[in-house]
Amino acid sequence: NKSEEDILTVYSGDLMPVDRKTVRPVYNNIPITKLGKDQELELECIAKVGRGKDHAKWSPVSTIAYKIIPYISVTEDCISCGDCIDACPFHCLRMELGKPVLKWIGIYDCTICRICARSCPKNALRVEPNNKDFILRVNLVGQLTMEEILEQSKLIFESKLDDLINKVEEAIREQQQTES
């Protein structure tokens, strides 16, 4: 039975680069292997460039999602009964100056189910999606910064739009030639 002192964990930060231009691990605390007393490891690593569209392992994000922000309006017919606050299944509303308002955390939790609005006896509450703003949640995995991801996304999107425009223009030209 070996003691903890006899076992050495080798981490990604222990890798010795061949030269300064060598790619380094993003995280230094990834365990690679454990070595026993008097053992050593010689390891050659190969970095391969890839794109997320080819395999998820090359994706610069683990998840990306957007959330529509709710917009709440209350008419003068509101009688401050609080039925809407009690009815909300996600507890997104609170009373302020006698009117229901969205809690700050409510913008994240509200699903725009409108249960609160349907519970209003005076039909004074409206819940609609905000068509101008949304929340974008991105979980980065370390290869690129958020700015780099957005810039690359913009360039890829622009390239795909250019391709689409060219194909549409080509289809129009072909259509015009067949009509002539």
Instruction: Judge whether residue 3 has pLDDT over 60.
Output: no
Q: Which is higher by pLDDT, 138 or 94?
A: 94
Please check whether residue 66 is in contact with residue 84, taking contact to mean a CB–CB distance below 8 angstroms: no
Give domain status of residue 54, yes or no. Answer: no
Does one domain contain both 168 and 117? Answer: no
Does one domain contain both 157 and 115? Answer: no
Does one domain contain both 153 and 131? Answer: no
Does one domain contain both 18 and 37? Answer: yes
Alpha-carbon distance of 61 to 143, in angstroms, equals 8
Give pTM, 2 decimals: 0.55
Report in angstroms the alpha-carbon separations of 11 from 16, 17, 37, 52: 11, 14, 17, 26
Report in angstroms the alpha-carbon separations of 8 from 40, 111, 157: 10, 50, 47
CB within 8 Å of 108: residues ≥ 6 apart = 67, 135
Domain holding 103, by residue range, is 62-138
Give domain status of residue 55, yes or no. Answer: no
Report in angstroms the alpha-carbon separations of 142 from 22, 35, 58, 138, 155: 17, 27, 11, 12, 20
Does one domain contain both 30 and 98? Answer: no
Does one domain contain both 121 and 161? Answer: no
Q: How many domains does the chain have?
A: 3
Alpha-carbon distance of 15 to 107, in angstroms, equals 45
Does one domain contain both 121 and 89? Answer: yes
Does one domain contain both 42 and 94? Answer: no
Alpha-carbon distance of 168 to 41, in angstroms, equals 57
- Given pLDDT bands bounded at 50, 70 and 90, which one contains residue 21? confident
Averaged pLDDT, 146-153: 91
Does one domain contain both 101 and 75? Answer: yes
Give domain status of residue 2, yes or no. Answer: yes
pLDDT of residue 2: 52
Instruction: Judge whether residue 147 has pLDDT over 80.
Output: yes
> Tokens 């725009």 label which residue?
112
Does one domain contain both 111 and 156? Answer: no
Does one domain contain both 78 and 102? Answer: yes
Does one domain contain both 66 and 134? Answer: yes
Q: Which is higher by pLDDT, 7 or 87?
A: 87
